[in-house]
Chain A
């Protein structure tokens, strides 16, 4: 079992819909959670971080964390074609604050 698992996709949603990206992790010592967006041919870019159970909203993006169930999700409201990218989930642990463990990513396509 991988430490961080994501649905590989691809995930396809119509423009204007809500895209839901999910990530599960195996280590209960995980404390910080991150979502990166990577456009084709570009480097990953940090778009959301969350540390406490519940929701965190930033514009059209909402990160949700449930430590009891060991999952973190990213919701994208009013999806736009410009949101088409690969989304990487990453996790930090208390005992190694520097290093993140990445999932393999979910590729999202938003169709006009």
Chain B
């Protein structure tokens, strides 16, 4: 199994530009999570999906952020327009619906907005 696959690994963009982060979860996993991690705020849950349906997006910072999961094997997180304070590492993770199972994280996307 290739694990959770995220792309790109690094993204440098100018303020105001649109950024799209991509994630392919592990096949058969029912849940997909998007997290953001910074030194100041730690690991923050942005949004998560169950069977491709968004369940809780209360962690999405503002309307500039949007996420989709059009099918079980693909999800995107979009930031439009991007701002320097969005600079962080964005992780995607997936898991089964079993209570006693933990997450598998992707390698993350390091986003720098200049």
Query: Is the C-beta of B102 less than 8 angstroms from some C-beta in chain A?
Result: yes
Number of CB contacts from chain A to chain B under 8 A: 56
Interface size of A by Cβ–Cβ distance < 8 Å? 22
Least CB distance from A89 to B in Å reads 11
Interface size of B by Cβ–Cβ distance < 8 Å? 24
**Chain A binding surface, main DSSP class:** strand
Least CB distance from B1 to A in Å reads 14
Write out the residue numbers on chain A whose beta carbons fall within 8 Å of the beta carbon of B91: 43-44
- CB pair B103–A100 under 8 Å, yes or no, is yes
Write out the residue numbers on chain A whose beta carbons fall within 8 Å of the beta carbon of B34: none
- CB pair B43–A88 under 8 Å, yes or no, is yes
Complex alpha-carbon distance, A12 and B30, angstroms:
38
Residue interface mask A75-112, B partner, CB < 8 A = 1: 00000000000001010101001111010110000000
Identify B48's interface contact among A36, A97, A98, CB under 8 A: A98
Report if A31-B99 is in contact (Cβ < 8 Å); known contacts: A88-B43, A105-B42.
yes
Stretch among B16-24, B65-73, B104-112 lining the A interface: B104-112
Query: Is the C-beta of B85 less than 8 angstroms from some C-beta in chain A?
Result: no
Write out the residue numbers on chain A whose beta carbons fall within 8 Å of the beta carbon of B99: 31-32, 92, 94, 97
- CB pair A97–B97 under 8 Å, yes or no, is yes
Write out the residue numbers on chain A whose beta carbons fall within 8 Å of the beta carbon of B30: 98
Report if A99-B105 is in contact (Cβ < 8 Å); known contacts: A49-B100, A94-B99.
no
